[in-house]
Structure 1
């Protein structure tokens, strides 16, 4: 598997910024002004909850950014590189952590860090491991009813840019949920909530003050644009 390391990502980012700087400075492209205006509109819409301003700002930013030849070059080069790797039969993944201390004998996590992914826990019984995952665009399905949660506190921690997270938990396990997002929909235990705009919500379910449970599950999810669904089964 061909991995795009942090150094390569940093180099690509610096080159992209340099191309934008050259275009704005020497060729007088004013699109960056409209892009910044769009970003300001998005920020103002989130703070004041004006959806129409959010979508107008998003459209302005996208059109302005992609009208710049420097960014178009960066996008084309990136896509050509990915297509070339796929043609060679070498999947492309983005590796942000340092892999120098990686030990092949270590147990692989159930859900792995991938920039773009569609992942789920095994359909049959599996051994539980706490889940810590980061991604850019991901669609994750985690079913904790197919495993035995150990005594004490188990953790699911997810940080990603875009995508939906679906989590199934056993009926008898107390659950605490923390979810924050820029824009996202939430459905918790069959209750669909109004769309969140730059908000954080916390909820707990299944706790009985008269019965002390030996097992607890904590779920924390953080997204830019993403939905969360938690069910019991």
Structure 2
């Protein structure tokens, strides 16, 4: 019952937040959509011309403009207030009804054998700024599941050996480009969502995308012994999946 109440509470917050956003866009702050588009455009153009000084100025100017636009939105203030109110209610409830734990002593019937956990270093890690890519030499493959802030991600699969079955790659990026190179003998499937950018997979090319999702795969993917499934999401940036 408590879980259901929490779920209803969060659903009401999201519903009211969407309503507040619509009111703000339609009646109180019609220029917010224009501001968000301008800041996204500045960031996108700045990324493309990042080698030049003007590109860097344009990029960071877009970041500042985007943050200022979001912080000034009535919807952002509503969600901030809702979060503070949620923690306040949770704090007062815990004071009124503290959790009481009574220890229960049970004699163990069977001695459990300790399990060991193997901790390995991931192939790629989460980043906030900067580019990251796979090694340029031979490396041991490990499934990829990362989140990135601002920067490019390059994965070259020609320097590793895949295990039998399905290999999985998850990449979530805010601003930047994702470039994945797949060997010719490996079948591939791509699930991609993007707010603004371009998408290229082999012979498929879709320029100037706005708020779309794609599912693409090679013809022999379903019956292949070795295959790669790729999940990517971008706010602003380009996805390119090619052969090598």
Pairwise TM-score range, normalised by the shorter structure = 0.5 to 0.7
CA RMSD of aligned residues (A): 3.5
Q: Is 1:109 the equivalent of 2:122?
A: yes
Secondary structure at the aligned position of 1:185 is classed as strand
Q: How does 1:1-40 map to 2 (within 5 A)?
A: 36-40=29-33
Distance 1:191 1:232 in 2: 13
Structure 1 position 192 matched with structure 2 position 205: yes
SS of 1:193's partner is strand
Between structure 1 and structure 2, the one with the greater Rg is 2
Are 1:62 and 2:65 an aligned pair? yes
Q: Distance in 1 between matches of 2:67 and 2:153?
A: 32
Partner of 2:103: none
Q: Secondary structure at the match of 1:228?
A: strand
TM-score, normalising length from structure 2? 0.55
What TM-score, normalized by structure 1, do the two folds share? 0.57
Higher relative contact order (CA 8 A, sep 6+): 1
Which deviations, in whole Å up to 9, do the C-alpha atoms of 1:86-113 show, x marking residues without a partner? xxxxxxxxxxxxxxxxxxx722111110
Q: Which residue is equivalent to 2:154?
A: 141
Asked whether the 8 Å contact 1:133–1:157 carries over to 2, the reply is yes
Structure 2: 5+ residue stretches without partners: 1-27, 43-61, 72-117
Structure 1 unmatched ranges of 5 or more = 1-34, 44-53, 69-104
Q: Does 2:240 match 1:229?
A: yes
**2:22 corresponds to:** none
Whether the 8 Å contact between 1:40 and 1:57 is mirrored in structure 2 is no
Change in Cα spacing, 1:178 to 1:37, as seen in structure 2 (3 Å) is: same
- Cα shift at 1:37: 3.7
Cross-structure match for 2:95: none
Displacement after TM superposition at 1:232 (Å): 0.7
